[in-house]
Each structure stands twice: as structure tokens, then as C-alpha cells.
Structure 1
Amino acid sequence: MTTKSVPTGLWSTDDVEELTGILAARRSRLWQITQPAELAAWVFADPEPAPLDPPPAAFDGDWADGLDEPQRTAWALAGWVARMTVPEAAPTAGRHWLLSRVSAGHGPLLRLTVGVLETLGVYESGEEVWLRVAGAPIVLAMEEGAADLEEWGRRGIDVQEDRTKTLAEEKLLLTCPDIDTALWLLRQPPVMVAARMLNAWVAAGPFPFESRYRPEVVGRAWRAAESLLGAAAPVATGGERGFDREYAGAAVPVDLPAQRSFDADAYRAGVSEHDRLCRALIDHLDAEGVRIGAGLNGVPVDLAWRDADGRQFIAEVKSVVGVNEVEQLRLGLGQILEYRHRLAARGIVATPVLVVSRCTDRAWPAICGDNRVILLQGEGTPNWTADLRPDVVVGVASTADGDASLGRDNA
């Protein structure tokens, strides 16, 4: 999960900081995959689904085999909600959430369970959909006129305080008469924020139902969601711009609870350094008339752009703070190679760039060169023009004080 921008208007960086503090106070296995500040920013960001690949579970055959039209729509909605509202949905399936198929009042029910809480129910008949969401975003939206209860009522949406044990006083139960209404409701920004907020909180808690996980159910719904994404909520593809969305720096929380598994000062410093490096590269390319953004074809690259000749570049940016240089280089190289592979599978040829604060180990220019990755470093805004040539594998870019690159090999 990459940290995305916080939409302006109803939400603010204060909301991100408050939620970050709430999440950071929880000891969770989820912090092995993401961090509280990243998860909080994701809650308020413009919604994008988890990519189809890699799926959380394999599924053989056509996902729609044996299903009639209402059933196909129900499976698609269940998968869509999982991919849109469950944090880090692919790697956490079976460890932080599951999707099950059970018998209930109107027949078979697809039920999403995140942590200890059932947060979505979709009847295969399409007769009813219910979901649990955090109450605060909905209440705020109503107070600000961003949510119209009368309109909800005309559409047959029932709103009640939810009294299940988990967060009994802080969540709502929304019931829709059919799947089309549920989709309309979930596409309202306050409702998506409310759904993500509740799922983020419970995903960071205990998950006692691993024995009930059925990967074939999750895999089927995961693929089924593509029918909705393709029809009504497509993943941005970058188009001629060479990126999906404008870059916006991550919100840096002011106050983060201290705990053994979460070093607030180190995390804050890392986020700030990451943003500094991103903006240094953006400013450098902007001076050359190149527009740069984030994401590409649904792949969460930190930065992406096309040069003046139309060649596609992608970049992974890693802050080096303290003694984490080797760890960050290893992590960054793995990520940028993964992103290049995923884009290639979509027919997009991209030149990968790894940007780090510093690189003191002279082996790394050769390591990146062997993998045809451009490696840039800088303590200020360096002169990266020569290094960002796709026909050259760069070792390490010049530093701010004009020192020469540590090495450059011909591709």
C-alpha cells in the first residue's frame, strides 16, 4: 500500500493524524505489512481497488460457472467491497479477513469478516445488502450536507446504530434493498471512508477465524469484482500522461503514540525524507518540462512519467535514515523489479529507477546495473539529467555538491 493524498474538503490532515494515533496504539501483525500512518492516509484517500494481480488465492476455471445473473452480481459486489475497503487485502486474506458463504434468511449469503467483525452481507438473490461502517464520517457528512438522509430514504436505505459488541457506540448498520442501491451508496465518498475506517480498525485487531478461511471463495469473488470495475469503476490506466494521479506528499503525523513495535520519531523522519526525495525528482523533471505523477495502470509505483520522447519511467523512492541503508536498498530494488514485471504483463515497457537518500556501498551500482535499474542518490536536488537515460544503466547519481557518480555501466 502506498500512501496517497488526502482529499480536500470534508477531510483534513488532522483526521489522518487522529486516526494514525488510534491505529498506532494497537499492537498488530498488520504493521509487518503496512504502518499506521500509511493505513490512515489510505482510509481518506480517493478509493482505488486492490489490483487483480497478485490474487490472494488461486481459483481454477471460470469464476461464474454455475451462477445465474443475480448470483454473479452478488459475488462481484462481495469481491469489489473486499478489494476496495479491506486494507492490504491480498496479503492479509486468511490472516486478517475472510469471505464466507453461509445459509441465512433470504438464502445463501456472502459474508465479509474483518478481524472479529462481520462488516458486509450480500444475499446471492440480490434481495438485500447490509454493511457496517464507522459512524463518525457519516455523521460529519450529514452535518456538512455531504450526505442526504432523505435521498437515502427514497432509495430504501435503512440507517441504524449498530449494537454489536465491537465498537458498539461508534458504528452504523446500513441496509440496502438491492445490489444496485448498495453500489450507489458505497460510491458516496463519506460511506467509502466510513467502510475503510471501520475495516482498518478491526483488521489491526485479533483475527480468531483462520480455520474458517476458504481460499476458493475469496479467489472467486476477487475475480468477480472485475466485472464491476470494468463497467463502472475502472482502475486508472495512466493514458498518455504516463501516470495515474498527481503526486501528493504523505501526511506526517505530529503526535504518534510510542510503543515497542512502532518508533514514531523514526517513522516521521522516514516519511519526511521520502517526500523530500520525491519532490526533488519532481522539481528536477519539471524544470525540463516533464510532468510526473504517481501510480501506473493500477500498479502502486511511487512516481511515474514519460520523457520528452515518450519513454515510460517508474520510480521507487526509499528514504535512508539512520542505519537502514542496506535494508532500504534491498527492499526498494525488490519493489521496483516487481512493478516492472507487473507492468510488462500488462504490455507496458518501463525503465525502472530506484531513488535513495544515499548509497555508500560500492557494490550497489553493479547490483542495480545487472538488473537494468537506474540508481539515483542525492542529499539535495542533483543533476540527474544524464543519469535518466533509458539506454544507460546508472550506478549512483551525482550528489548535491557535484561529486561524480560512483559508477555507470553501458546497458
Structure 2
Amino acid sequence: MVSYDADNSADELWSFIDDHLLHYGRDFVRELIGHASGSYLYTTEKRAIIDFSSGQMCATLGHNHPAIVDAMTRSAETVIHLDSTMLAPAIAHLGKELCDLLPAELSKVLFLNTGAESNEAAIRLAKLYTGGFEIVGLTGSWHGTTYGAASSTYASGRKGYGPSMSGSLAIPSPNCYRCPIGHKRESCELACLNFSFDYIDEVSVGSIAAILIEPVQSAGGIIVPPKGYMKRLREFCRERSILLIFDEAQTGLGRVGSNFAFEQEAVIPDILSLSKTLGAGLPLSATVTSKEIAESVQAKGYSHYTSHASDPLTTEVGLAVVRTIVTEELASKADELGLYLMNSLHTLQEKYECIGDVRGRGLLIGVEIVKDRESRIPDKQRLKRLTQRCFELGLNINQVGGPLAVWRIAPPLTIKKEEIDLAMEILDKAFASTEI
């Protein structure tokens, strides 16, 4: 038996991995990461790789940001974990400072671990508050793999697990590049949403608790709803006494060029779910709602216990994240750098016919790869080759979109312009070397 030590070869380590780790999705990248810093990953073979996915879209401050390391050290030296009814000082500060960034309507928060958990908490809030049980999601959405969240997840991973949660309904994703009902984006007048209202009114049994939506769909292919979509959706919910839940796992806390994506829509959700960007690499999520909803469900006995609710270590980190985003003005930097990156990608689009569409907000951008721009047929094989070539050249970039062929570009908010320029050079080389 080979013991674990720093001298194990890469082959030995991969033998351990292949023999003992359960695969949970895509294949593992066959290079081990020794350390990470800022916008870079460094393999155990000392190869530097620009990380255009911020880990799992979580490391928004960059890898191993000093503020995160300091917060972890501070918690490790004082208190790491408590009974869920016991609270450390950091959570009081985090609750206040997070809610200070939000509208007055969102003032009560529950801290959990993952986005799936915060979405489950949001669904339970909505059901208990309204008395309804139906949850409306969107095709192309991703909310997690726990039962309630998975039931409203339509981007992938639905086959083979038996029935979804009772009352799970879906409406078409507002994909303007591939309109689900064949309209033109310039003159659609939100036709997909109007169709969706009629459809939901017909198929619902009259017990809708909430609509759960990402302001920008990520796993579905970086789908940005058309102007006015969210306002009309808000009206739809109010007309039917349905709660509106925004899942801002990937759009919250600066990523799209504002503190929260809903600010750009002038629409305030009834419940807000935060996760990835809140922990900046550690498992921290939050479910935020109004005082009215909180008091109502508390009177009805709302319960959402987990082993690590309100944990001191992760909330200490969350506090550091919120403060860093504010003090370093990372939302406005994401807006500025996102425009710079978008323009650079449009320049590449002019050069390469296979780039069908470039879309997004701030530093959350999608690049759709097609066989040709007229047919818009997704070219997943080319995307796979491009992604592999980019990694060989020193750029980690993520594929999303289910049946589509889309890159999800989500670098750390702390990325520098020269790092973006280097990434664009790598992309250019990858396109040039994989052209047919």
C-alpha cells in the first residue's frame, strides 16, 4: 500500500482518484492543481493557467485573496462551528452589512451552505407563506441537485431519478438568439412571456407558490432576458399573488456589474437566494426575504435546520467578502472590465465565423459556437476541441448550455486588463489552430 505524502507521483495520485472517487458529473481534468493565486491556477507541474471560471464560479475575489485567508485564520483561532442556535459576532455583522446593500424590502436573512440549500429554503418559505405548492421554473435553469431545487432545474441532469416534486411547472427560457416561439428579438414584445402566462394559467391547479428564476441563466447558456421581461414577470406574479424568487447564485455581489442583478431591472424579488459569490470559494449561501414574510412563516413554525446553518467560519468569510466588494468597488470594476472583455470578444467574432453570439452582463459572458451563423446549429465538437486547446495554452474556460455549445466566461472580479488581453491571445490562437 502506498502511503500519502508529498512525494507521491502524479500517476500514483491518479490511481487513487480512479480507484476511489465517485464521478459526479463531467470527467475530471487530468492535471492536478498544486496551488492558486489571484486569476491563476498552478498545476503540480508548475504550469500557470488563467482561470476564466473563478473555480466553480465562486472565487469572485480571485483565488486565495488575503481578506479570505485572514478571515479563515481569525475564525480558526476563535470558533469554527457551533450549535445552530448559537451565534458568533461575525454573523450579526454579516446579516446587517449584507442587508444594508439590499432594498429595505429584503431585511431578513438565513445563512446556509450551498445554492441548492438556499433555494430549498426559499421554496419552503414560499410554500408556507402562500399555502400553495406549485413552483414555476424556466427551461435551461439550474438551481441545484437537492429534491426541490432539482425539480426546478431543467438545464441538465433530470433523467433517471424518478418523479420530480409535485407541482413543478416550467415555462420557456427567454433565449433571444434562439427564440422558443420563433419571434425576432427586435419586435417580439415579450411574446414568450405572454405565451408563458397563458400556459401557466391553463395547466396550474390554482396553487402556485412561487416562480423561481435566475436573472441571467448561467448553466443554460448565459441567457439574458430581453428588456422589460423582469418587470412584466413581476406584474404577472402580483396579479396572481405569486411570490417571485431570484436565484442570484452567480449574478449576485458584483458579478454582473451591480451589487445584484435585480438592481438593473428595477425589480425587487420577494425572496433572494445567494450562494457562490457570497462565500468566494467557501460554502456559504443566504436566503433573504421581507420582514412581513419572515414574521408570517415564523408564526406558522417555519423550520429549516441544517448542521451548518450560521456557521462561524463561513460567515466570517462572507463578511470579508461583502466588505471587500464594497471597499474595492468590485461591482463597478466588473461593469468596466466586462465591457472591455465583451468588446474584445466581439473583435474575435468578426474574425471567426463559428462565433455565433456573444452575450452577457458584467463579467458573466457567454460565447456561443455554431457550425455557421445562418443555420445557428450548435457545434459542440468544435467547442470541445477549442476548450481543450485553450487549456493546453493556459486558459481554463467552462462549457455550458446543455444541447447548446456555449462558453461561460466568468473570471474573478479582481482580474487585470493585461490578464484579459493574454486570455484573448490564447483564444485567438485556439480558434486559429482548430479552424476546419
Alignment TM-score > 0.5, same fold: no
TM-score (norm 2): 0.27
